[in-house]
Structure 1
Amino acid sequence: MAELASGVASKILEKLGSLAYGEFILVLDIKSQLIELEGTMTTIKAVLLDAEEKQATNRALSIWLRQLKDIFYAAEDVLDEIECEVLRKRVLRTYGRPNREVRGCFSGCSALAFRSKLGHKIMGIKEKLSKIAANKDQFNLIARLEDNHVMHRRRDITHSFVLPSDVIGRDDDRKNIIDLLMHPNADRNVNVVFIVGLGGFGKTTIAKLVYNDKHVAEHFELRMWVCVSEDFDVARLIKEILKCASGTIDENLGVDMWQTSLRDCLRNKRFLLVLDDVWNEDRSKWIELKGLLSAGLEGSRIIVTTRTHMVASIMGTGLTYTLERLSHKDCLSLFVEWAFKEGEDKQYPNLLEIGKEIAKKCQGVPLAIRTLGSLLFSKVDEHEWESVRDSEIWRLEQKEGDILPALKLSYDQMPSHLKQCFAFCSLFPKDFLFNSDLLIQFWMAHGLLNKTCNSQNIELEDVGDMCIKELWSRSFFQDVEHDLWYYRYWFKMHDIVHDLALKVAEEECSVVGFHTQNIVGTIRHLSFSHNGLQVPKYFYMLSCGVRTTLFQTKQVPALVEACISRFKYLRVLDLSYSSFEVLSRSICTLKHLRFLNLAWNDRIKKLPNSICKLYNLQTLLLHGCPRLERLPKDTKKMINLRYLTVTTTYTYLFENGACHLNSLRFLRVYYCPRLEILFQGMNGRLTNLRTLVILGCNRLTSLTHDIKLLTTVETLIVENCKELSLTGGEDGRNLKLSLRKLKILDLPKLEVLPEWLKGSADTLQFLSIRDCPNLMALPEWLPSLKSLRTLEIFYCPKLSSLPEGMDRLTALRELTIDDCDELVRKCKEEDHPKIAHIPSVQLD
């Protein structure tokens, strides 16, 4: 990841710019040192883009960049120490000691000692930086500017379903594989069809086309799809197949009962099972799994997609279909589809000629063609197209079927911060289902999301959303699905794209198991993929500068303690699905921590109050912790907290004064069975809260005491709260709210919409009401919601009519009513004039 040095340099310069003139810096008298450091950094950064581009063919330059980046990280750690101290002083001023004591903290012995320590560190960094910067002249580097502007350039995000018309050059393959599925075989009940092809050839795409084919769906009584990837763990696969077959699974039953349940599900049924992306070469594992699948009726089929014929031969007798490269004609058609807007290829014949040569270099691999087409989409400068065609990367030695050079070309064209965002995705396993919300928070924790100078009012979360869309538009993310209920995205990475992420991040990011013997000492970001009984031996070979620790399985408590005690520069710590009752008090020593995930811990009961000393913490995930008691009393001191999810057994969320969480943007209250009041005794506002989600809080009866604190909330989602009526208290006349989206689901006590909703008459654009069986009528003031664009009503059987004045909703573009028999009848008959002005009306 030496080519990511410019991204780290940008972060440091941004920090230097924000720190250099702060009160604390002036008191410590280190302003001049920081300004000198900023000047040196600016000089070096100017040539980093050129260095990163040339390093692929210059070993010495690559080593120089790596050394430089190590110094950059040391500088970032020092600047973060200053930021930590600034935050600590701010908390002390607000909540802590008397004023004279706080003033003493800036000028006493502690300040002198801190200044001395910082001075030595900054001096050491400056000396190292100046020494290595002096070597840059030998590489004849050119100063270049980088355009960090990121813009979503392609089509809107869609579902992962594959339409045959969207796939070029594979129609014969689809028909041939369907014929193989229908081909009778008297030798066995369950036959296997292998789809074999190199990475990026479209094996999964073809399997999806076959799986979703109308005739296939009619032929097989039961269809199941499981992604296997590199972990052919039989117990896991049994669980995944059973989930597909039955819809649910009892996690506590154990493997033997799962096997029995799976046989029962498959018995006397003709099924189709797709095992996607199989790498297993252990025949015994396949025999074990195949034996469980033999209960199906004759004619049942298993489709296996794999890169190698070796896997097919080891898995035994079956019908093998080898996927070949696309023809040059199909390559060009696919390239035109992705590189040009409709008809644009005829407007730019010179670009089309260059595109023919680029398509030829992609060697018939659809993923490579799609990726480079995405890169060049909407670009009309011939020089940009020629630079892709003539890149030195094509001249590097390649293995047969190697498409990483094509993907690397697209990667090289990205802004540095987008490269870093992509590289960090290597920490997650292949076929990982990404959640856009959490990935954005993960990026934020590492300071990867920067605002441009002309967009200071944009939130970092919005920058992250743009980065996700940009990576998708470049074909680095796939199978993107929009979760319309919670306004987030789910997506995956193609395994070849994941290989690229591993390649560019290999010096800093590592996925390790507990049997790993050796590890590179420069690793700063760790993901543990397997469980173990003790701290692994290689652990103590790691630098103390590790910044990320992710656990993909339940972890050894001793390893958690070792991470906390050794890795003092951690920014991200993921302890989800843990099994401890109390979090260690020493967590407060991780003063640089930005992201802490404790979700889905079914044993944890208490958080130490010391956690509130994590003043840098931005993301705290506590959902799915059914035994967790109240949040610590000093939660209000976590002044940087932006994203909080919580499950608690207590009757309210926060102690008095928690309204000082003025950095909070997102709050999700998740299945709190005893929660009666959201905010106890608060007399202020959560001044930056944008999204509030309340789910499964069955003792919560009202929001009327809380709504006045939520004047900045734009998205409110309330779901499955059996006693919540939403009404009473504030009437909304004197309340100014900012709601844009309101979603209400499964509120049996809701009889009328709350009056306080009138406070959002100028802003509310989306209103969805679902599963509210006792909602009697829509209010007469509903037409006062003059910004309303979408209204959805599902299963509200007691609604019988729309209010008068619906024609005043001139902004309303979509009306959907379903499972409301009387209301639908009225809208089709006598109430039809009320909705005749709405462009899109869907009834039942």
Structure 2
Amino acid sequence: MPIGEVVLSAFMQALFEKVLAATIGELKFPRDVTEELQSLSSILSIIQSHVEDAEERQLKDKVARSWLAKLKGVADEMDDLLDEYAAETLRSKLEGPSNHDHLKKVRSCFCCFWLNNCLFNHKIVQQIRKIEGKLDRLIKERQIIGPNMNSGTDRQEIKERPKTSSLIDDSSVFGREEDKETIMKILLAPNNSGYANLSIIPIVGMGGLGKTTLTQLIYNDERVKEHFQLRVWLCVSEIFDEMKLTKETIESVASGFSSATTNMNLLQEDLSRKLQGKRFLLVLDDVWNEDPEKWDRYRCALVSGGKGSKIIITTRNKNVGILMGGMTPYHLKQLSNNDCWQLFKKHAFVDGDSSSHPELEIIGKDIVKKLKGLPLAAKAVGSLLCTRDAEEDWKNILKSEIWELPSDNILPALRLSYSHLPATLKRCFAFCSVFPKDYVFEKRRLVQIWMALGFIQPQGRGKMEETGSGYFDELQSRSFFQYHKSGYVMHDAMHDLAQSVSIDEFQRLDDPPHSSSLERSARHLSFSCDNRSSTQFEAFLGFKRARTLLLLNGYKSITSSIPGDLFLKLKYLHVLDLNRRDITELPDSIGNLKLLRYLNLSGTGIAMLPSSIGKLFSLQTLKLQNCHALDYLPKTITNLVNLRWLEARMELITGIAGIGNLTCLQQLEEFVVRKDKGYKINELKAMKGITGHICIKNLESVASVEEANEALLMNKTNINNLHLIWSEKRHLTSETVDKDIKILEHLQPHHELSELTVKAFAGSYFPNWLSNLTQLQTIHLSDCTNCSVLPVLGVLPLLTFLDIGGLHAIVHINQEFSGTSEVKGFPSLKELIFEDMSNLKGWASVQDGQLLPLLTELAVIDCPLLEEFPSFPSSVVKLKISETGFAILPEIHTPSSQVSSSLVCLQIQQCPNLTSLEQGLFCQKLSTLQQLTITGCPELTHLPVEGFSALTALKSIHIHDCPKLEPSQEHSLLPSMLEDLRISSCSNLINPLLREIDEISSMINLAITDCAGLHYFPVKLPATLKKLEIFHCSNLRCLPPGIEAASCLAAMTILNCPLIPRLPEQGLPQSLKELYIKECPLLTKRCKENDGEDWPKIAHVPTIEIEDC
């Protein structure tokens, strides 16, 4: 595929549709303009038939490519003209003379208005005729292309991929185990480098070979994690910025702490201190630097690390490793055909299984031979074929002429994947060449930019955002994009491909542009700068037809003021991204950018937007996040009738009067109702596009039922999460109660709502529509303090989460809550929470197996009068009972077909009436219970009849503040599988429990707190114990006997045990790694470093902290 492929088919189709829309009156052009557009559409229909064939032939035909390039220039002119006219038409509509002006003024304004429009229309007609002439000449040149030879080449439209394999599993690696183990041996071996404490291991190989993947396998190996005290991963890429790398290393070592200084000496000293004596592994991924001075400046701080520290670098250039003083480079080889086939097969077949397609398997293995063992190529071509199961498609790929084209350093397999993209996706992918290598981009931001540039054509009634998201997902699934922890990136080889196909239309500037060195015809520009470079906007003035200007990288980098004529000259800009530039104001001329659709000012120091921003009638996206100096938005913001995304602080958005004029807005997370004009709830009336979540606050300010009706919530079908919030702590009267009931009745949302929150509603009951929202999955009913009856929610078939709290008027939950005679029992509910129900006494419902059949989590919290409750369903896995009035814990309903419950985690907290565990819940076979917590039950006296020994799966027991709790019978108390035991303020229980610990062969953690009844340990510690904590045991007089033999003990803490006089004669175990002694005056004195009598017994412990009282 030649460098600079021209992709026009999708663009021309979009243009044709735009012209067609004008001819049928969608844009309401005047008659003379419409007639010319009709003529233009006829010409376009003729020329369109030749475009796809020319695109195919340009692979080897320079003449075809030249013809397409000429057509591209004319198409750009046409697109600019149509956009300009549409913007002018909209401006005229919005700024035309008002019907409310005085008659004389109206006549005067109308005359000027009419004259201006006539002149503009005449200009448009002349420009259309000029374009028609150019297209006529191109049609006459068609004989250069020859007859239409398009033989029906398969240009697949985007279609849904199999759900079982639509996501790429990047963790699956084939054929690299030997490479990994070879490098692991080097990595874990002593240093053999020229630097005292530092070895450098270069991994060398071409792009797409899997250097990064191999290094990730090594970096995350458990042996590496254990061997190195610190691990740091940095992506370096083409620009080796030693200051940036030093900062990033500090951030990694300091767990995200970032230094603001730009003083290299201070940064180096800081890094040196943080690495001092610590064995670290540093990965420098994708290094290109061949400047030894830069490497030496960065390396200076690294040599302070501990002995055995290592650096792995991945690079395409073996000289880079030699320059950095590394050992002999490890040259990564291509995968074997068999390993490459395994990787290819994983991506080309559903579940990686080719057995049901033996004919494709034969062809696939021949394709793999052409991939030359490159993992990235195997993933890309495999993903390409994943949706194609026709043998002919696979043969076409195998026989493609692209394999024979000159490589130009671009992998033929990647060219092939690109050539089979739908034309719409080719434009989107080529645009990404404006990003520098390793640039992390966000999905939503990129889709918004594609929208602004007209790359996305809506499909049916679907939104542009949904279509764009589908485009992005398709590129990602075909391996053009890769996941990154902060977003997405392009692999270097894919970036090279994007540059090769982006021609002169897309240009990435790494330095401020100079007129003598750059092609001024570029339409999409990005400028990468670091924190120290200055952005001189004057340098961009020459790019008069630019549609995109992105300023990338560098936080708050030095930026010159924006010249007023910048926006007068760059009048075709569709995308302007000034994110994180150090600018404080925009010139008024910003209003001249009538084609602008995307404006990003996030992170700037702008304190005020000019009112002229209201003239950006085409604007779709306005980003103002982290603009901390910006206190308000201008009133003219409501003129932006095409605005779809306004991303700013919530108080800026809620402060907009008349926000209802922004009828295209897709996101409005919060709307605060006021009684003032422009803030009433009827502002929502025409905002049909709102998608996702919206929280409507201060609903007490809704004046009437009519006003509530005008919000038209029922028509907003894209809202899936609705919060209806009244203000708390209102003075409630009978009028208030009646009004709230009526208002909520008329705020009924559409029937497909999936999540609903109602907070501080003052009505005594909920409207019936709540029981009819059959798509609801989540409900929060909160602080509706006057409500005495719960709505019928058990009938909702999809409800999975229900949270009811702060409904203090509820005394009894009746049977109707659970359902009707037809549908009942919360058939899908998985999580149920009752909280802060101060007067709730009972739930009158019989557990017959139909109630809550799928419930897995149940929490009953702060219901102090609650005594009656249905049996817990057997499906419950996690159960929390806190601050209730239960004297006996309810049982679990276990149907005859089930032997035991599913309960895994049980928490019992602050239940003052609970006296015994011998009845109710613990009488049943809880064979799956693993975690048990009992806290703050002052009257609890009796353990379960058989102690905890019958709980055979129990691994963790936490019992706190149960002073009366003690064993009632001579049964074993502890289960045999126990790993974690924590006892606090249970003086009657501690000694019986400790008598059994030496019999527990699985115990890992033991913590004892505030047990005055403990004087000594009755038995030895279990041999498996790893962590021992003893806090506030005022009468404990010695440490456990035989503690020196606890060969697994790694950490021990002793706090406020003043009567322990000394350490055992035999000392502490050699396995101990951490020892903390605090507020133990006798021990502290004897364990004083170097001169304490017991210091020799602990000198071997790596980490020791001893503090006086």
Normalising to structure 1: TM-score of the pair?
A: 0.85
Deviates further, 336-345 or 76-85: 336-345
Question: Cα 1:264–1:363, aligned 2, differ >3 Å: closer, same or farther?
Answer: same
Alignment of 1:704-783 (within 5 A): 709=711, 711=713, 712=716, 714-716=719-721, 732-738=744-750, 740=753, 742=755, 762=773, 765-767=776-778, 780-781=790-791, 783=793
Whether 1:149 aligns to 2:157 is yes
CA offset at residue 303 of structure 1? 1.7
Q: Are 2:433 and 2:495, in contact at CA under 8 Å, matched by a contact in 1? A: yes
Question: Cα 1:126–1:650, aligned 2, differ >3 Å: closer, same or farther?
Answer: closer
Distance 2:437 2:561 in 1: 28
Deviates further, 435-444 or 310-319: 310-319
**Matching residue within 471, 476, 479 for 1:472:** 476
- 2:355 partner SS: helix
CA offset at residue 159 of structure 1? 9.4
Whether 1:808 aligns to 2:825 is yes
Counterpart amino acid of residue 438 in structure 1: R
Counterpart amino acid of residue 507 in structure 1: D
The corresponding residue for 2:332 is 323
Superimposed CA distance per residue, residues 59-114 of structure 1 (whole angstroms, 9 cap, x where no aligned partner): 11111111100000100111112211232233247978759669947983222211
Distance 2:649 2:115 in 1: 43
Question: Cα 1:474–1:34, aligned 2, differ >3 Å: closer, same or farther?
Answer: same
Question: Cα 1:368–1:750, aligned 2, differ >3 Å: closer, same or farther?
Answer: farther
Question: Cα 1:491–1:812, aligned 2, differ >3 Å: closer, same or farther?
Answer: farther
Distance 2:157 2:788 in 1: 45
Distance 1:841 1:530 in 2: 57
Question: Cα 1:263–1:793, aligned 2, differ >3 Å: closer, same or farther?
Answer: farther
Whether 1:398 aligns to 2:400 is no
Q: Are 1:654 and 1:678, in contact at CA under 8 Å, matched by a contact in 2? A: no
Distance 1:704 1:232 in 2: 59
Q: Are 1:733 and 1:759, in contact at CA under 8 Å, matched by a contact in 2? A: no
The corresponding residue for 1:335 is 344
CA offset at residue 218 of structure 1? 2.3
Whether 1:127 aligns to 2:133 is yes
The corresponding residue for 2:608 is 606
Superimposed CA distance per residue, residues 788-823 of structure 1 (whole angstroms, 9 cap, x where no aligned partner): 455398999x9xx99973973324468776999999
The corresponding residue for 2:296 is 287
Distance 1:50 1:387 in 2: 17
Question: Cα 1:450–1:522, aligned 2, differ >3 Å: closer, same or farther?
Answer: same
Superimposed CA distance per residue, residues 383-419 of structure 1 (whole angstroms, 9 cap, x where no aligned partner): 22122111121112236xx453211111111111111
Question: Cα 1:147–1:396, aligned 2, differ >3 Å: closer, same or farther?
Answer: closer
Q: Are 1:193 and 1:321, in contact at CA under 8 Å, matched by a contact in 2? A: yes
Whether 1:588 aligns to 2:623 is no
- 1:550 partner SS: strand
Distance 2:501 2:577 in 1: 23
The corresponding residue for 1:548 is 548
Q: Are 1:617 and 1:640, in contact at CA under 8 Å, matched by a contact in 2? A: yes
The corresponding residue for 1:63 is 66
Counterpart amino acid of residue 655 in structure 2: L
**Equivalent pairs, count:** 815
Superimposed CA distance per residue, residues 423-466 of structure 1 (whole angstroms, 9 cap, x where no aligned partner): 111112222222111111111001111123xxx22111110111
Question: Cα 1:625–1:780, aligned 2, differ >3 Å: closer, same or farther?
Answer: same
Whether 1:825 aligns to 2:863 is no
**Matching residue within 257, 260, 264 for 1:252:** 260
CA offset at residue 266 of structure 1? 2.5
Whether 1:362 aligns to 2:362 is no
Superimposed CA distance per residue, residues 458-505 of structure 1 (whole angstroms, 9 cap, x where no aligned partner): 111110111111111111111267xxxxxxx93221111111111111
Counterpart amino acid of residue 467 in structure 2: V
**Matching residue within 485, 503, 508 for 1:506:** 503
Deviates further, 50-59 or 97-106: 97-106
**Matching residue within 192, 204, 207 for 2:200:** 192
Q: Are 1:577 and 1:600, in contact at CA under 8 Å, matched by a contact in 2? A: yes
CA offset at residue 640 of structure 1? 0.3
Q: Are 1:582 and 1:607, in contact at CA under 8 Å, matched by a contact in 2? A: yes
CA offset at residue 301 of structure 1? 2.1
Alignment of 1:656-671 (within 5 A): 657-667=658-668
Q: Are 1:549 and 1:573, in contact at CA under 8 Å, matched by a contact in 2? A: yes
Distance 1:396 1:128 in 2: 33
**Matching residue within 439, 449, 471 for 1:442:** 449
Question: Cα 1:93–1:315, aligned 2, differ >3 Å: closer, same or farther?
Answer: same
Distance 1:533 1:652 in 2: 36
Q: Are 1:154 and 1:473, in contact at CA under 8 Å, matched by a contact in 2? A: no
Counterpart amino acid of residue 42 in structure 1: S
Counterpart amino acid of residue 733 in structure 1: E
Q: Which has the higher contact order (CA 8 A, sep 6+)?
A: 1
Whether 1:786 aligns to 2:783 is no
Superimposed CA distance per residue, residues 37-57 of structure 1 (whole angstroms, 9 cap, x where no aligned partner): 111112212221221121121
Q: Once superposed, what is the RMSD of the aligned Cα atoms?
A: 4.6
Q: Are 2:155 and 2:421, in contact at CA under 8 Å, matched by a contact in 1? A: no
Counterpart amino acid of residue 805 in structure 1: S
- 2:6 partner SS: helix
The corresponding residue for 1:389 is 398
Q: Are 1:737 and 1:760, in contact at CA under 8 Å, matched by a contact in 2? A: no
Distance 1:435 1:260 in 2: 35
Distance 2:277 2:767 in 1: 57
CA offset at residue 173 of structure 1? 1.4
Higher helix share: 1
Q: Are 1:75 and 1:125, in contact at CA under 8 Å, matched by a contact in 2? A: yes
Counterpart amino acid of residue 18 in structure 2: K
Distance 1:229 1:92 in 2: 50
Q: Are 2:192 and 2:199, in contact at CA under 8 Å, matched by a contact in 1? A: no
Q: Are 1:162 and 1:208, in contact at CA under 8 Å, matched by a contact in 2? A: no
Counterpart amino acid of residue 527 in structure 2: F
Distance 1:677 1:516 in 2: 51
Deviates further, 519-528 or 587-596: 519-528
- 1:332 partner SS: helix
The corresponding residue for 1:644 is 646
The corresponding residue for 1:451 is 458
Whether 1:497 aligns to 2:494 is yes
Deviates further, 343-352 or 116-125: 343-352
- 2:282 partner SS: strand
- 1:225 partner SS: strand
- 2:304 partner SS: coil
Distance 1:520 1:506 in 2: 11
The corresponding residue for 2:1070 is none
Question: Cα 1:540–1:615, aligned 2, differ >3 Å: closer, same or farther?
Answer: closer
Question: Cα 1:259–1:820, aligned 2, differ >3 Å: closer, same or farther?
Answer: farther
CA offset at residue 725 of structure 1? 10
- 2:623 partner SS: strand
Question: Cα 1:733–1:55, aligned 2, differ >3 Å: closer, same or farther?
Answer: same
The corresponding residue for 2:1076 is none
- 1:644 partner SS: strand
Distance 2:351 2:114 in 1: 69
For structure 2, the residue ranges without an aligned partner over 5 or more in a row are 703-707, 832-854, 863-875, 883-888, 907-1109
Rg larger in 1 or in 2?
A: 2
Q: Are 2:198 and 2:310, in contact at CA under 8 Å, matched by a contact in 1? A: yes
Question: Cα 1:626–1:75, aligned 2, differ >3 Å: closer, same or farther?
Answer: same
Distance 1:25 1:171 in 2: 66
- 2:226 partner SS: helix
Counterpart amino acid of residue 276 in structure 1: D
Question: Cα 1:791–1:178, aligned 2, differ >3 Å: closer, same or farther?
Answer: farther
Counterpart amino acid of residue 112 in structure 1: C
- 2:298 partner SS: helix
The corresponding residue for 1:271 is 280
Counterpart amino acid of residue 66 in structure 1: A
Q: Are 1:368 and 1:403, in contact at CA under 8 Å, matched by a contact in 2? A: no
Alignment of 1:406-445 (within 5 A): 406-445=413-452
Q: Are 1:817 and 1:842, in contact at CA under 8 Å, matched by a contact in 2? A: no
CA offset at residue 776 of structure 1? 15
